[in-house]
Amino acid sequence: MKMKNIFSVVLLFMPLLLWAQAKKPTLMVIPADTWCSVNGYMTTFDDQGKKNNIPDYEQAIQTNMDLYNVVTKIGELMSEQGFPLKDLSQTVKSLKQSAAEDEMTTSRTGGSTLAESPLDRLLNRAKADILIEVAWKVNTTGPKRSITYTLRGLDAYTNKQVAAAQGTGAPSFSAELPILLEEAVIEKMDGFVSQLQSHFDDLLTNGREVNIDIRVFDNGSGLSLEEEYDGEELTDIIDNWMAENTVNHRYNLSDATDNMMHFEQVRIPLYRTNGRPMDTRQFVGELRKFLSDAPYSITSKVLTKGLGRANLILGEK
Amino acid sequence: MFALPIMADNLPDYEIEGAGTGNQGTYLVKVSVLSKKSKVIDDEIGRCAIHGVLFRGFANKEFRQQQKPLAGSAMVEQQNVAFFNDFFETTYKNYYQVLGSSRQVVKVGKQYKVSSVVTVAKDQLRKDLQEAGIIKGLNSGF
């Protein structure tokens, strides 16, 4: 009896023990698209026949000393806060080494392909939770120079801006550009970190925000989201599963038809029941398993796009 | 039961503003104390500087500076009255340095406005308050 009580107490506090071992979000600094464009660090990406201009991070980090210094200084300041950053140059290098193997993802039965943009590939490789975009501009008025500096923290899962610091420093006659840049980074960092703190507090309380789409393969099987199981439509069954498995039942079913459901602002737990980190693919994988069991016995396939969006396609693998 | 008086009640009237970008890990602030006497000791100015950085924040249009209170808000002082009363007895002295050559005294009506530029070791101050559990760090919860 005594043993049973001890076991119950351990079980009761298990989530707290797991919580205490929570994994830190990872952060990575990248130059903003605008900065890359203004400074000529863009490259062309062939997106299924359509030409897209995208930032060339590799070229930028390898050739621009000011960018290298700014990224290093931000990294130093974040390390002092106990948050070492993912290194952009190392991530770019490792991405290059394995670019060929990730070129294409193919559906096993349908043969459909999934093209990934270089940015998606970078995000998937770095698995950074927060991207810190940095940009600056040198302003010149006569002999005086000043720096307009912008720092934006973007949640890689939702692309939402979660922290920002922006401003123009005091003009100077004599200070060199690296000094002005260093001052700008130091001056703006505290405000930025304080906003980041609010975002982390929200993550810990309400879970991570992602988007999930449910689709039906048009393979002639006749499966539809209006199909009934024990008098309940599949749409409602999925909706109920979402309510039971999201943090504080927080999600928004923004659109639903007989062959698609679009969930926004889905708050998924940071951790699985075994204490390991949860991501969008694993969360949707849980739904896939639920639907594969009786009485539904629905075969489905999980496709992810970036870190914060996943599609569950019902009907076949 | 009685409520402990908060530190702000024992401080002179003071103003705080930015004085440029300090070295890494520090804030450079200008503190002006309003006093009936023209002599105000450095310690009084230093205490006001630490109090201002923690609970008021500071700005300066000329230097285009704006910093929020390091402790988050003045509420933190009220929530930890005992800690901060103790802190402002002696501990605060570890975190500031008054730049002697920056002293200015201006008579304003029947009072004197005594100003000095102070360097505040904000990174160390933040770290120590985080370790004491008074303010949260970016690491808290992870």
- In Å, what is the CA distance from B62 to each residue of A137, A170, A185, B12? 20, 7, 18, 26
Mean pLDDT of all residues in A206-218:
90
Domain that holds residue A241: 207-314
Residue A55 belongs to a domain: yes
Residue A118, CA distances (Å) to A40, A92, A104, A124, A286 in order:
18, 10, 12, 10, 28
Tell me the shortest Cα–Cα distance from B136 to chain A, in angstroms.
8
Interface check for B137 against chain A (CB to CB < 8 A): the answer is yes
Contacts of B70 in chain A (CB under 8 A): 190
Q: Give the pLDDT confidence score for residue A107 in this predicted structure.
A: 46
ipTM of the complex in this document? 0.85
Q: What is the pLDDT of residue A8?
A: 53
Asked if A191's CB is within 8 angstroms of B67's CB, the reply is yes
> From the list A22, A186, A191, which residue is nearest B21 (CB)?
A186
Q: Which of residues 148-167 of A touch B (CB under 8 A)?
A: 167
**Residue B137's pLDDT band (boundaries 50, 70, 90)?**
confident
Residue A13: inside a domain: no
Answer yes or no: is pLDDT of A74 > 70: yes
Instruction: Examine the domain organization and report whether A280 and A170 are in the same domain.
Output: no
Chain B CA closest to residue A147: B64
> Per the structure, how many domains does chain A have?
2
Q: Are the beta carbons of B141 and A194 separated by less than 8 Å? A: no
Quickly state the pLDDT bin for B1 (edges 50, 70, 90).
very low
Output the CA torsion sign for A169, A174, A178, A182.
Answer: negative
Specify if A219 maps to a domain: yes
Domain contains A6: no
What pLDDT, on a 0 to 100 scale, did the predictor assign at position A91? 82
Q: What is the mean pLDDT of chain A?
A: 83
Quick one: A212 and A191 in the same domain? no
- A295 with A149, same domain? no
> What is the per-residue pLDDT for A89?
81
Q: What percent of chain A has pLDDT over 70?
A: 82
User: In this structure, what DSSP letter does residue A277 have?
Assistant: B
- A83/B63 touch (CB, cutoff 8 Å), yes or no: no
Instruction: Write the CATH number for A148.
Output: 3.40.50
Tens digits of residue pLDDT in B23-40? 899 999 999 999 998 888
Residue A186 and residue A42 in one domain: yes
Chain A residues touching B141 at Cβ < 8 A: 22, 200-201, 204
- Which pLDDT band holds residue A48 (cuts at 50, 70, 90)? confident
Mean pLDDT value across residues A114-129: 66
pLDDT the model gives residue A14: 46
Q: Do B67 and A167 touch (CB under 8 A)?
A: no
Indicate whether A266 and A226 sit together in one domain. Answer: yes
Residue the block writes with tokens 């043969």: A111
Q: How high is the pLDDT of residue A12?
A: 47
Is residue A130 domain-shared with residue A243, that is, in the same domain? no
In the predicted model, is pLDDT for residue A154 greater than 90? yes
For the stretch B63-116, pLDDT in tens is 889 999 999 888 899 899 999 999 999 899 999 999 988 999 999 999 999 999
Same domain, A113 and A231: no
* Mean local confidence (pLDDT), A41-63: 85
Indicate whether A188 and A269 sit together in one domain: no
Interface membership of B93 toward A (CB under 8 Å): no
The structure tokens 């991501």 sit at A279
Tokens read off for A316: 């076949």
The predicted model gives A205-234 an average pLDDT of: 87
Give A240→chain B minimum CA distance, Å: 30
The answer to the question of residue A52 being in a domain is yes
Q: Which of A24, A168, A186 sits opposite B64 (nearest CB)?
A: A168
Q: What 3 state SS string does A129-191 have?
A: CEEEEEEEEEEEECCEEEEEEEEEEEECCCCCEEEEEEEECCCECCCCHHHHHHHHHHHHHHH
Query: By the CB < 8 Å criterion, does A114 face chain B?
Result: no
Within a domain: residue A244?
A: yes
Residues A55 and A155 in one domain: yes
The answer to whether A24 contacts B139, with C-beta atoms less than 8 Å apart, is yes
Query: With 80 as the cut, is the pLDDT of residue A23 above it?
Result: no
Domain shared by A160 and A235, yes or no: no
- pLDDT reading at A195 higher than 80: yes
Question: In angstroms, what separates the C-alpha of B32 from chain A's closest C-alpha?
Answer: 22
Query: Does residue B100 or residue A127 have the better pLDDT?
Result: B100
For residue A217, what are the CA distances in angstroms to A214, A259, A294, A295, A303? 10, 9, 20, 20, 13
Contact flag A24-B64 (C-beta cutoff 8 Å): no
Chain B residues with beta carbon closer than 8 angstroms to that of A81:
137-139
Q: Which of A204, A224, A245 is the last residue of a domain?
A: A204
Inter-chain touch B138–A191, beta carbons under 8 Å: no
pLDDT tens digit sequence for A93-111? 777 666 545 444 444 555 4
Going by pLDDT thresholds of 50, 70 and 90, the confidence category of residue A22 is low
Whether residues B137 and A81 touch (CB distance < 8 A) is answered with: yes
Interface residue B20 vs chain A (CB under 8 A): yes
How far is it between the farthest Cα atoms of chain A?
84
Contact A267, A251 (CB under 8 A): yes
Residue A228 within any structural domain of the chain: yes
- Asked if A190's CB is within 8 angstroms of B142's CB, the reply is no
Interface residue A271 vs chain B (CB under 8 A): no
Residue A4 lies in a domain: no
Who wins on pLDDT, A14 or A122?
A: A122
Q: How far apart are CA B2 and CA B67, in angstroms?
A: 34
The predicted structure's pLDDT at residue A98 = 60
Domain closes at, from A204, A238, A260: A204
Note whether A196 and A290 are same-domain residues. no
Domain boundary among A158, A179, A204: A204
pLDDT tens figures, A271-294: 888 878 788 899 999 999 999 998
A140 and A125 fall within a common domain: yes
CB contact under 8 A, B68 and A191: yes
